[in-house]
Amino acid sequence: MFSKKNLNEMSIEGTSHSSGSRKMLVNKDETTSKYFEAFTYGYLPPGIKWEMHDHDNIVEICVVTKGCGVIKDSNGGVEPFIAGDRFIFTSNTKHEIENNSDEEAEFYFIRFRDQ
C-alpha cells in the first residue's frame, strides 16, 4: 500500500510556535510507525524567530533549504545557519531558530519519538 500527494496542493498552516508557517508533508496518522511523528516544510519570514521550545521525547532533524540565520540552544550554544546546513536536536533539547536575514528562510523538519 502507498499514498501519493502533490506538495504544491498542500495548504500552508500556522505553527505551534506562534510565528512562521509550515506544510505538513506527512503526519503520524499516515504511517504505521510507532516512532514517526511528522515530516514538515517550514517557512520563517525575515526578522522572525521560532521561540525557545522543545519537543517532549521527540528527536528533530532540521535541513535548511533557503536563507540564513542563527540557531540557539538553552545551554548557550549559538550556530549560524545557511542553506544546506543540517541540525539534529536530541529529545527534549530546547532550541530557537531565528531568521536574521532579509529573505524568508525555509526548512525541512523530520520528527520521531525516541521511545
Domains of the chain: 13-113 (2.60.120.10)
In the chain, the amino acid numbered 108 is Y
Using CA atoms, how far apart are residues 71 and 9, in angstroms rounded to an integer?
30
What is the reported pTM? 0.91
Q: How confident is the prediction along the chain (115 residues), in pLDDT tens digits per residue?
A: 788 999 899 999 888 776 889 999 999 999 999 999 999 999 999 999 998 988 999 999 999 999 999 999 999 999 999 999 999 999 999 999 999 999 999 999 999 999 8
